[in-house]
Amino acid sequence: MRILIAGAGATGGAFGTRLVEAGRDVTFLVRPARAQRLRSNGLRFIAPETDRTNQVQVLTAAELADLDEDRRAFDLVIVAVKATALETVIADVRPAVGAQTLILPFLNGMAHIDRLEAEFPGQVLGGLVKIVATVRDDSVVQMTDMAVMTIGHLGGGEVSTEVRTALDVPGYRLQVLDSIVDALWEKWIFIATAGVVTCLFRAPVGPIIAAGGEPHVRTVIDELEAVATVAGHPVGAKAHDQTMSILTEPGSSFTSSLYRDVTAGVPSEIEHILGHLQVTAADLGVATPLLDLTLVQLRAGEIVRTS
């Protein structure tokens, strides 16, 4: 399969490296400056067991659009960017999407699924990844051994053998689920809960618990998991216990990615993760007072930041 990965950051770069090293036909779709550096220096990948650099195929959006029609369409387009870049990526990948192309997004939340389905109906798979990675000095750094890719058909059907084979490579664990929508909801609720807890109290978990915040943390967990239950995608007991453990651990330095972006003053996924959940809860008739309060605080901060 010809695979196009939109984004060569932490997620796209880490999983893309594994695919390249397994001999898959992979091209990265990146911005011009990033493309120039990758062509000159290659894609450096650092993980607990390795530090190596691969020469990789890259395209910019303009170069993709200029390809001959018979070379433009890819079999699989992996979207591995933050939600703030989604609209740009949709426009950029459009020339690569033919009638048989499948699109596999690895974004947080659920809003991107509706958006991509509206743009490319019937061609979107569900996907999520678990990895602790970042980009440092233009290198992709995987900080732990954990690397899992989970995919599934949004309608509960079978994922093709071609896709399974293409993505099943050494270096990470591939899971194929019939209930991918349940898994997407489960991850969304955890990320949203962690975001509400750390952004509302403006601290890592340890200080929040030390300040007497545990009852409020438990209330946030119950509040947001209730949304998933009413939506028909209840959070499982194992995931609930993991959330409780992570967000109530004394002395923990854990913070959410949303909190880190907000405190760094960079564009964040506030609306994609929390705003969309608020709208979804309202449509379902579920009250979310702590989510609502957090959004007022975060939106007010965004107004100040951008004014």
CATH, residue 226:
1.10.1040.10
Q: Which two tokens stand for residue 268?
A: 């964040």
Give the model confidence (pLDDT) of 79-133 as tens digits. Answer: 999 999 999 999 999 999 999 999 999 999 999 999 999 999 999 999 999 998 9
Contacting residues for 182 by C-beta, under 8 A, at least 6 apart: 233
CATH, residue 156:
3.40.50.720
Residues 112 and 7 in one domain: yes
Distance CA 161, CA 159 (A): 7
Q: What is the mean pLDDT of residues 264-291?
A: 95
Q: pLDDT value at position 157?
A: 86
Q: Out of 178, 210, 234, pick the residue that ends a domain.
A: 178
Number of structural domains, the chain? 2
Give the model confidence (pLDDT) of 219-254 as tens digits. Answer: 999 999 999 999 999 999 999 999 999 999 999 999
Overall pTM > 0.85: yes
Instruction: Please provide residue 293's backbone torsions phi and psi, each rounded to the nearest 5 degrees.
Output: -65, -40
Q: Are 243 and 190 in contact (CB under 8 A)?
A: yes
Q: What percent of the chain has pLDDT over 90?
A: 93
Residues 87 and 204 in one domain: no
Q: pLDDT value at position 112?
A: 95
Average pLDDT, the chain: 96
Residues 160 and 213 in one domain: no
Residues 240 and 142 in one domain: no
Q: pLDDT value at position 155?
A: 86
Q: Are 167 and 23 in contact (CB under 8 A)?
A: no
Give the model confidence (pLDDT) of 151-179 as tens digits. Answer: 999 987 899 999 999 999 999 999 999 99
Instruction: Please provide residue 183's backbone torsions phi and psi, each rounded to the nearest 5 degrees.
Output: -65, -40
Q: pLDDT value at position 267?
A: 84
Count of C-beta atoms within a 10 Å radius of residue 42: 13
Residues 173 and 208 in one domain: no
Distance CA 220, CA 266 (A): 25
Q: Out of 178, 208, 230, pick the residue that ends a domain.
A: 178
Q: What percent of the chain has pLDDT over 70?
A: 100
Q: Out of 178, 203, 234, pick the residue that ends a domain.
A: 178
Structural domain of residue 269, as residue ranges? 183-306
Q: Which of 62, 82, 87, 84 is nearest to 72 (CA)?
A: 62
Residues 159 and 237 in one domain: no
Residues 97 and 125 in one domain: yes
